[in-house]
Amino acid sequence: MFQQSFFQLGQYILFIKKVFQKPEKLKMYWIQYLKELASLGLNSIGIVFLISIFMGAVLTIQTGINLENPFIPLYLIGYATRDSMILEFSSTIVSLILAGKIGSNIASEIGTMRVTEQIDALEIMGVNSASYLVLPKIAAAISFFPFLVIMSIIVGVWGGWLGGCVLTEVLSTGQYIEGLRYYFLPYYVVYSLIKTSVFAFIITSVSSYYGYHAEGSALDVGRASTKAVVYSSVLILLFNLIITQLLLV
């Protein structure tokens, strides 16, 4: 098992090296990048919006239920919602969701290209298929995911207000806003965006790797897709811990 893991790691590193080679024609990569921005980024706005609004609402309601002690000021509910969204939910949880949505999409797209010989066709034309197919995806994800996270934070905080102040009236709007403004550290946003960029790289590169090395039939493409989601998710959790240790502790 260890031998297999080292083999996979080595193969992944060689794959990444191939991905980051000089593009044949920058214009073609730019066109691909724009397509990927739409496919990986814009098409994810809906799901990120939906998840964030519910996460924010639930966070506020749950924090409100657990802070019934009269000695703890209610505005801390807003404070807790804000920091939870910034530090963990908008970056890590959204990235885990995107690993499922985008990861499986990338692995199945590239895997299908592999088993239908489209990747071989690119190679025979003299195109570096790994770079042409994967580099625009990585670039698009790294450049667009931070915007998704910022949107998620804003929508999550808004969802918290809807859940806590409008739906359940656990606290007033004034208290919620006071909590949002209480002890705000901009560095937390920077930390969250750094994390997201790393997660974007993990999701796109790992999923592309499994798709690119799919062999055989549609069944193998399905397996590659599952592996892509599982390994991306595990790596996100692992790097969440590492980055948090490095940047916050």
Binding site for other proteins (CB under 8 A): 24-25, 28, 112-113, 116-118, 120-121, 123-127
Q: Which is nearer to other proteins, 43 or 116 (CB)?
A: 116
Instruction: Name the minimum Å distance from CB 114 to other proteins.
Output: 11
Q: Which is nearer to other proteins, 24 or 169 (CB)?
A: 24
CA distance 152 to 199: 15
Q: How crowded is residue 77: how many other Cβ atoms within 10 Å of its Cβ?
A: 27
* Identity of residue 145: F
User: Cα angle vertex 30, ends 26, 33, to 5°?
Assistant: 135
Instruction: Name the minimum Å distance from CB 128 to other proteins.
Output: 8
CA nearest neighbour of 88 among 62, 52, 54, 61? 52
Instruction: Name the minimum Å distance from CB 12 to other proteins.
Output: 19
Alpha carbon 165 to its chain centroid, in Å, reads 29
Dmax over CA atoms of the chain, in Å, equals 72
Q: What share of the chain is helix, strand, coil (3-state, %, to 5)?
A: 85, 0, 15
Q: Which is nearer to other proteins, 123 or 169 (CB)?
A: 123
Instruction: Name the minimum Å distance from CB 20 to other proteins.
Output: 14
Instruction: Name the minimum Å distance from CB 123 to other proteins.
Output: 6
Q: Which is nearer to other proteins, 121 or 190 (CB)?
A: 121
Q: Which is nearer to other proteins, 25 or 181 (CB)?
A: 25
